[in-house]
C-alpha cells in the first residue's frame, strides 16, 4: 500500500519506519531537510522536502495514488489543512490526524478525521499505571475512554463464575488466558487458578471492578 506521512518529527519518522518495515510504499514530506535525520538508517521509503501544504509537493509525493495519509506535524492547523486537502482534492480514503494540542481534539473530530492525541492518550495511560491497582492497562481505545486491562484472578475468586467478578456493564470480560492459551468466555465460565483475565472497561467500570477485587466474593 502507498502511504504519505506529513511531518518528519519523532512521531512521523517512527511511523514512516514502521510502515516501510512492513513493506509499504512510504513517502515522508517535511519542510526542513534536517527533520529527515529523525529517520532510522534502515528506512527504505522516500523523502520529499517542501511545503507540506503545496499541491505541487503533494502531487510529487504520489498523493493521487495514496491509500492513506497521516498528518503528524506539531501544528494542528497544518495537520487539519493537509488532511482536508487530501480528502477533498485527492480523495484519499484513510486519513489520520495527530492532535498536538488538546484544545484541537474536538475540532479534528468535527471534521470527521480519525484522530490520535498523544497528549491525551499518554496522560490517560500514565494515570492508569500510577493508580490502576491490580488491573494493568495493556491497550487504550479512542482517546482512553475505554481501556483493556490485564489481571491475574485473585485466589478468593477461583472456582467462581466470571460473571460474578465482572457484572458491571461498564466493564466486560474480553478473554481469559489459561495455561498459555487464550479462551473466549461464555455464560457460566468458571475461573481457575492461574487464569489471566482481559477486561475492557471505562474509568467507572474499572473502579467497580477494583472494589470487587478488594472484597471477598459472597458465599
pLDDT tens track for 71-128: 999 999 999 999 999 999 999 999 999 988 888 878 888 888 888 887 877 776 676 5
Q: Where are the domains of the chain?
A: 2-117, 127-214
CATH topology of domain 127-214: Alpha-Beta Plaits (3.30.70)
Rounded to the nearest 5°, which phi and psi values hold at 28? -105, 130
Q: What is the pLDDT of residue 163?
A: 87
Express as a percent the part of the chain with pLDDT over 90: 50
Query: For 182-205, how does the pLDDT look when each residue is reduced to its tens digit (9 = 90+)?
Result: 999 887 899 998 888 899 998 888
Model-wide pTM > 0.85: no
Mean pLDDT of all residues in 153-175: 86
pLDDT band at 32 (very low <50, low <70, confident <90, very high): very high
The CATH class for the domain spanning 2-117 reads alpha beta
Matching CATH topology for 2-117 and 127-214? no
Any residues with CB less than 8 A from the CB of 216 and at least 6 apart, and which?
Answer: 156
Amino acid at each position: 500500500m502507498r502511504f504519505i506521512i506529513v511531518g518528519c518529527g519523532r512521531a512521523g519518522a517512527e511511523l514512516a519506519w514502521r510502515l516501510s518495515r512492513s513493506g509499504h510504499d512510504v513517502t515522508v514530506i517535511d519542510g526542513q531537510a534536517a527533520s529527515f535525520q529523525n529517520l532510522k538508517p534502515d528506512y527504505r521509503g522516500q523523502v520529499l522536502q517542501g511545503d507540506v501544504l503545496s499541491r505541487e509537493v503533494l502531487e510529487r509525493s504520489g498523493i493521487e495514488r495514496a491509500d492513506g495519509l497521516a498528518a503528524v506535524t506539531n501544528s494542528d492547523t497544518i495537520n487539519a489543512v493537509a488532511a482536508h486537502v487530501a480528502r477533498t482534492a485527492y480523495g484519499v480514503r484513510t486519513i489520520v490526524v495527530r492532535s498536538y494540542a488538546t484544545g484541537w481534539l474536538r475540532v479534528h473530530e468535527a471534521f470527521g478525521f480519525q484522530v490520535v492525541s498523544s497528549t491525551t492518550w499518554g496522560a490517560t495511560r500514565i494515570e492508569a499505571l500510577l493508580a490502576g491497582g491490580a488491573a494493568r492497562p495493556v491497550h487504550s481505545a479512542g482517546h482512553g475512554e475505554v481501556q483493556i486491562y490485564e489481571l491475574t484472578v485473585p485466589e478468593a475468586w477461583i472456582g467462581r463464575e466470571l460473571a460474578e467478578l465482572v457484572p458491571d456493564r461498564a466493564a466486560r470480560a474480553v478473554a481469559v488466558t489459561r495455561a498459555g492459551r487464550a479462551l473466549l468466555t461464555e455464560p457460566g465460565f468458571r475461573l481457575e487458578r492461574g487464569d489471566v483475565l482481559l477486561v475492557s472497561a471505562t474509568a467507572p467500570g474499572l473502579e467497580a471492578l477494583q472494589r470487587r477485587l478488594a472484597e471477598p466474593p459472597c458465599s
